[in-house]
Amino acid sequence: MVESGLVNPLQAFERLAPEPDWAFRELTPRQTSYATHGYHRYPAKFIPQLAARLIEEYSSPGDLVVDPFMGSGTTLIEAKLMGRASLGVDVNPVAYLVARAKTQCIDPVHLEQALSRLCGQLMLTAPPIFFDAAPAWTYEKLQVAPIPGRNTSGWPSRLHYWFSSATLHQLAQIQKAIGTLEDEALRTFFYCTLSHILKPVSYWHDRSVKPTRRLEKPIPDARKLFCRHARQMAQGNREFWELLCQRKALETPAVPHRADARQLPLPDESATLIITSPPYVTSYEYADLHQLSALWFGWASNLREFREQFIGRSNGVRAVETRSGSPLAEHIVRQIGEVNSRKAREVALYFSEMRECFTEMLRVLVPKGHLCLVIGNTHLCGVEVKNAQVFAEQLHALGFAITRVILREIPSKILPRTRDKATGKFAKVSAADYIAYPTEYILIARKS
């Protein structure tokens, strides 16, 4: 660990050694998915204990903790458990649904009654008679109640690409049953369950994070899987409820928003602490990974439009003026440009958009408020993309002091560890030629 208020922010990275107590090696999957953390898969989730430790060290009860790339809401849940108000933002509608479900806490008795009723009703429903050659499936035919923001134009054929007609009918039954629930918290809870089971009941290859189809995959009954997962989630809700009651934190606000990190819905100087893990450049195409939920719930009319909102995207990046504010970023972009001009454009845009996010974080932080960024470095086109060092330069130039840099090892069970060196994308262990993120940085900056 290096503590400083250095003139040259890159000095903070010299002679760093991994700090074993930040690796959380001893934690089991059960411990990292306690309470509501296990509701829904999400790529590059925080370890809750890591977020908790940063909250403990850099804030006090009653403070406002913010996560501008909240993903599945890990920071918000931990902040609530520790009696800090929190606000999170993500452009991804799937993140918004999952974070809403995970941060709300439902009276366990009320939830279990609703769960028994809903699953009783679903399991009684006769299996649908269907023919795969039947006319194209549409939402209208199944009379699924529309949910806010749904835009279904262009989607039905794509739904048939991923799901059998039998599964579509079962999913529609579930959706319809959820739509009849009057309590919004219950609907959110069960929509989250539904979103989580879309992958196992689709043709999406179970062992692939990428959208790969496996048509011979055995497809489980969606209603049974839904009820099984909802029961597991209900146990998580009970655990969350009991912890919050013990800590007298049931009423502590934790507010997810669907918004862009460059426009936080907060007044100037309102947040004491920002904890976040930004998107990685061209490695996770969040829009593609979450297309089943976006497709099912009708959150985007096509994949291209859906992708465009994400920072770190690798599809459809046009040549635009960029401003990184970091000499190191410019150097990295030039090096990549010698090999692949398209990739260079993507990286330049990524650093430029991240700079806009940091400007916004600076605006909302109180003076002397802290920003904790969890980020790993990677390789693209054979060039090392030193995200952490670039961020340190950008933050320093904007008026942050880099006060601490922690290097942590990532136990392999928590994050994918392999990358293809040329594309920078996650790859199978056997196919990869580079171990990705065996370590990552926690960059701590103070608003000066």
Ligand X SMILES: C[S@@+](CC[C@H](N)C(=O)[O-])C[C@H]1O[C@@H](n2cnc3c(N)ncnc32)[C@H](O)[C@@H]1O
Is residue 34 involved in binding ligand X (CB under 6 A)? no
CA distance 307 to 314: 9
Which of 66, 81, 95, 264 binds ligand X (CB under 6 A)? It is 95
Which of 91, 105, 427, 442 binds ligand X (CB under 6 A)? It is 91
222-246 and 184-201 are packed helices; what angle lies between their axes, rounded to 10 degrees?
Answer: 130
Smaller CB distance to ligand X: residue 137 or 310?
310
Is residue 96 involved in binding ligand X (CB under 6 A)? no
CA distance 381 to 379: 7
349-363 b/e (C-beta count within 10 Å ≥ 16 → b): bbbbbbbebbebbbe
Is residue 416 involved in binding ligand X (CB under 6 A)? no
DSSP state of 91: S
Which of 9, 256, 279, 325 binds ligand X (CB under 6 A)? It is 279
Residue 351 structure tokens: 């650093």
Nearest approach, Cβ of residue 46 and ligand X (Å): 4
Residue 442's beta-bridge partner residues? 374, 406
Cβ(125)–Cβ(331) below 8 Å? no
Residues 310-349 binding ligand X (CB under 6 A) are: 310-311
Nearest approach, Cβ of residue 358 and ligand X (Å): 13
- Judged on CB neighbours under 10 Å (0-12, 13-18, 19+), 157 is exposed
Smaller CB distance to ligand X: residue 222 or 372?
372
x/- track of binding to ligand X for residues 242-261 (CB under 6 A): ------------------xx
Nearest approach, Cβ of residue 113 and ligand X (Å): 30
Is residue 46 involved in binding ligand X (CB under 6 A)? yes
x/- track of binding to ligand X for residues 51-80 (CB under 6 A): ------------------x-xx-x------
Nearest approach, Cβ of residue 67 and ligand X (Å): 7
Count the neighbouring beta carbons within 10 Å of the beta carbon of residue 50. 25
Q: Which stretch binds ligand X (CB under 6 A): 43-51, 134-142, 300-308, 416-424?
A: 43-51
Cβ(171)–Cβ(201) below 8 Å? yes
Residue 117's beta-bridge partner residues? none
222-246 and 165-179 are packed helices; what angle lies between their axes, rounded to 10 degrees?
Answer: 40
Q: Which stretch binds ligand X (CB under 6 A): 5-13, 87-95, 114-122, 321-329?
A: 87-95
Q: Which stretch binds ligand X (CB under 6 A): 42-50, 245-253, 333-341, 417-425?
A: 42-50
| Sequence-distant (≥ 6) Cβ neighbours of residue 57 within 8 angstroms | none
The residue with its CB nearest to ligand X is 71
Nearest approach, Cβ of residue 167 and ligand X (Å): 26
CA distance 194 to 172: 10
CA distance 236 to 17: 36
Interacting residues toward ligand X by CB under 6 A: 42, 44-46, 69, 71-72, 74, 89-92, 95, 260-261, 277, 279, 286, 310-311
